[in-house]
């Protein structure tokens, strides 16, 4: 891949955030996009977000909220807030959209890059990468020099300096130069529900010609999203957490 690539994740039915991010992607002249999953869940814009992501015609991954919303049984292993968003999404997915979501892959390799929603760790499905030990488990399965993930909603760069070597981490902000050797995992943050204390949407642009990733923060009509969540009678916590990016 020789052209810039936008990587987005964790939209979580936040249509206002998704629209703002896609406008920002276009403003940067970036044509290629990969979506790392969790298109639905939490917020109320289920149909609009699925329709918009499908229309992009880009590679899209399955997230754990997507998977749960496509199942016939009640969601398991989710807290009450997350479960409410999944149940809400499940009731609003058309059969065509449910079939599309459930058919999505959990990981992809494209042009020497790995894309995954969660950790590649084999021992635990949908594992989070929150610390160095988590990152090391992931790197054991990563077969390409660079990978991108979401799932935690925290923008971050993890670096394995050599096989089974020291793990370094740095916050995902601004433009980050990637190392010429070793393995790198870029957590692209969240479009629809940031949790790093910044309420603005987050995504990354990868530029192979400079071997950099740029973490971009995008403001959106947060109050409109919040009103829609409350109007849909989803948990108030889902609406209020957006204000603080938590």
Task: Kindly tell me the sign of the dihedral angle through the C-alpha atoms of 192, 194, 200, 201.
Answer: negative
Kindly indicate the confidence band of residue 72, based on its pLDDT and cuts at 50, 70 and 90: confident
pLDDT at 112: 95
C-alpha angle with apex 60: 48 to 126, nearest 5 degrees?
Answer: 105
Comparing 59-63, 64-68, 77-81, the range with the smallest average pLDDT is 77-81
d(CA 110, CA 112): 6
Query: Burial letters for 53-91: b for 16+ Cβ neighbours within 10 Å, e otherwise?
Result: beeeeebbbbbbbbbbbbeeeebeebeeebbbbbbbbbe
Tens of pLDDT, residues 136-169: 999 999 999 999 999 999 999 999 987 667 899 9
Which residues, in sequence order, are CB contacts of 114 under 8 Å at separation 6+? 107, 108, 120, 142, 143, 144, 146, 147, 148
DSSP one-letter string for 26-39: HHTT--EEEE-S--
Tokens of 22: 């896609």
Share of the chain above pLDDT 90, in %: 91
DSSP one-letter string for 119-142: ---SSSTT----SHHHHHHHHTT-
pLDDT at 186: 98
CA–chain centroid gap for 99, Å, is 20
d(CA 129, CA 156): 10
**3 state DSSP class of 219:** coil
**3 state DSSP class of 163:** coil
**3 state DSSP class of 158:** strand
Tens of pLDDT, residues 161-196: 876 678 999 999 999 999 988 899 999 999 999 999
| C-alpha closest to that of 153 among 130, 176, 123 | 130
Tokens of 140: 């054991």
pLDDT at 164: 65
d(CA 84, CA 66): 13
d(CA 49, CA 19): 9
pLDDT at 163: 66
pLDDT at 103: 97
Tokens of 194: 């940031």
Tens of pLDDT, residues 196-236: 999 999 999 999 999 999 999 999 999 999 999 999 999 99
């Amino acid at each position: 891949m020789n052209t810039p690539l936008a990587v987005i994740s964790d939209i979580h039915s936040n249509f206002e955030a998704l629209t703002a991010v896609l406008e920002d992607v276009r403003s940067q002249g970036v044509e290629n996009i990969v979506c790392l999953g969790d298109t639905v869940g939490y917020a109320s814009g289920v149909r609009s977000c699925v329709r918009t992501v499908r229309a992009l015609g880009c590679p899209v991954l399955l997230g754990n909220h997507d998977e749960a919303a496509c199942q016939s049984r009640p969601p398991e292993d989710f807290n009450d807030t997350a479960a409410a968003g999944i149940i809400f999404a499940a009731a609003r997915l058309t059969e065509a959209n449910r079939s599309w979501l459930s058919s999505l892959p959990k990981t992809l390799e494209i042009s020497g890059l790995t894309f995954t929603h969660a950790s590649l760790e084999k021992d635990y499905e949908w594992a989070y990468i929150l610390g160095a030990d988590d990152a090391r488990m992931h790197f054991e399965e990563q077969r390409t020099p660079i990978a991108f993930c979401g799932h935690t909603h925290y923008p971050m760069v993890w670096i394995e300096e050599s096989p089974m070597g020291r793990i370094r981490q740095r916050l995902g902000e601004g433009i980050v130069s990637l190392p010429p050797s070793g393995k790198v995992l870029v957590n692209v943050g969240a479009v629809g529900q940031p949790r790093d204390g910044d309420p603005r949407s987050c995504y990354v642009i990868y530029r192979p010609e400079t071997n950099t990733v740029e973490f971009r923060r995008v403001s959106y009509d947060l109050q409109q999203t919040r009103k829609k969540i409350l109007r849909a009678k989803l948990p108030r916590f889902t609406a209020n957490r957006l204000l603080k990016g938590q």
